[in-house]
Amino acid sequence: MNSLVAMWRRPVSAAGLTATSVILALATPYAADNARRIIEEVQRRTDTMSQQYEGLLQVVDAKGRVADKRWTFERLGSHGRSRSVLRFTSPAEVKGVALLIVDHADRASDQWMWTPAVERDRRIALQDRSTRFFGTDFSFEDLEERDVDQFDYTLIGEDAIDGAPCWKVGATPREAKSSQYTRSVLWIRKDNYAIARTENYVKTAITRRLDYSNLQNVQGIWTARQIDVVDLTRGSRTRLTLDKLQYNATLEDDDFTVQALRRQ
């Protein structure tokens, strides 16, 4: 699973899991075990050395007005051991604003934002991760990649998204304080282990839904080139479109630090 998927939630790591075993597991008391194996397989299939793309963000507010923003995204490593830099390129007022995300295998990520006009970096505190990410319908937490071990999984059932059969997997954070969400439900395509939909809940109410579409195989990795997130409490939605997507390019370690944020 690539970081795009992780961005709209959830982590996943490698480990073999065949479709057959999953189907068998649905009818057994080992459903939780099998759910975890599905997620591990998703994570394994998306494990890469790096990822780059140029994103177009289109925020549609409740009145239907659309605001566009563009960014470049670079990630070094995968999942709970990755570091990412997201840098806005347009419009002009926000150009240069950057976000550094340092993911950890065993806890929530660290995040810093750089605002070039003030020449200041600021740490995004854990308490603020539920805040909307700069007017989009993503929260700061949605940008994190988490390791498979930070959640407990249950196989809820099966469903179909756009005609593609999917497993429905429930994910509950092991440390309640580490996430704004009480639980998430993931739809994972049986044919290629790509995530097709995620729904995030706070207590029993659904707050965000993410739909992954325009699925393409890029360098052997099934990747959604379009992600739509809907904030169900606000009634607004955001579409992220990925351009110039590339995996496993050579990136420098030094470019993923707070100092590097200041340099650029």
Partner 1 sequence: MLLRLITWPYVRKHALRTMLTLAGIALGVAVFVGMNSANASVLRAFSQTIDQIAGRAELQVTSGETGFAEDVLDRVQSVPSVRVAVPVIEAVADPHIRGEGSLLILGVDLIGDRNLRDYDLESGDDAVIDDPLVFLAQPDSIMLSRAFADKNHIAAGDRLTLGTAEGDRTFSVRGVMKAGGLASAFGGNLAVMDIYAAQKMFGRGRTFDRIDVALTPGRTIAESTRELETALGSGFQIAPPSGRGQQFESMIAGYSLMMNASSVFALFIGMFIIYNSFATAVSERRKEIGVLRALGASRRQVRLLFLLESAVAGLVGSLAGIIAGTFIARGIAASIGGLIHDVYGVARQAVHATATPGLLAVSLAIGIGTSMIAAWIPARAAAAVDPVRALQKGGDVSLSSGETRARLVLAAVSALGSTGCLLLDRSGALFYASYVLATLFAMLLTPFLSVGLMRLLRPLLKWVRPVEGTLAADSLIQAPRRTSGSVAALMLSFALVVAFAGMARSTYGSLVDWMNTTLNPDLFVMPSPDIAVRNVRFPSTMSDELAALPGIETVQVVRQARVVFQQTPIMLLAVDLLSIERTARARVTDGNASDMVRAGAAGKGILVSDNFAQLRRLKVGDLLELPAPAGVIRLPIVGVIVDYSDQQGSILIDRTVFQRYWNDDSVNFFRVYLASGASLADVKRRILERFAGRRQVFVLNNGELRDYILKIATQWFALTYVQVAVATLIAVLGIVNMLTVSITDRRRELGVLRAVGASNNQIRRTIWMEALCTSALGLALGYALGAINLYYALEIVRQDVAGMRLDYEFPIGVALAVMPVMFAAAFVAALWPAESAVRGSLVEALEYE
Give the whole-angstrom CA distance, residue 73 versus residue 84: 7
Give the whole-angstrom CA distance, residue 259 versus residue 54: 23
Helix (H, G, I), strand (E, B) or coil at 169: strand
Q: In whole angstroms, how close is the CB of 238 to partner 1 at the nearest point?
A: 11
Shorter beta-carbon distance to partner 1: residue 69 or 168? 69
Enter the DSSP assignment of 191. Answer: T
Q: Which of 9, 44, 45, 69 binds partner 1 (CB under 8 A)?
A: 69
Shorter beta-carbon distance to partner 1: residue 98 or 210? 98
160 binds partner 1 (CB under 8 A): no
Shorter beta-carbon distance to partner 1: residue 63 or 244? 63
128 binds partner 1 (CB under 8 A): yes
126 binds partner 1 (CB under 8 A): yes
**Mask 75-114, x = binds partner 1 (CB under 8 A)?**
-------------x----xx-xx---------------x-
Q: What's the token pair of residue 21?
A: 């075993």
Q: Which string of DSSP letters, residue by residue, matches 73-139?
A: EEEES-GGG-EEEEEEEESGGGTT-EEEEE--SSSPPEEEEEETTTTEEEEE-GGGTTSBSTTSS-B
| β partners of residue 246 | 52
Instruction: Catalog residues that contact partner 1 under the rule CB under 8 A.
Output: 59, 61, 63, 65, 67, 69, 88, 93-94, 96-97, 113, 115-118, 120, 122-128, 131, 134-135, 140
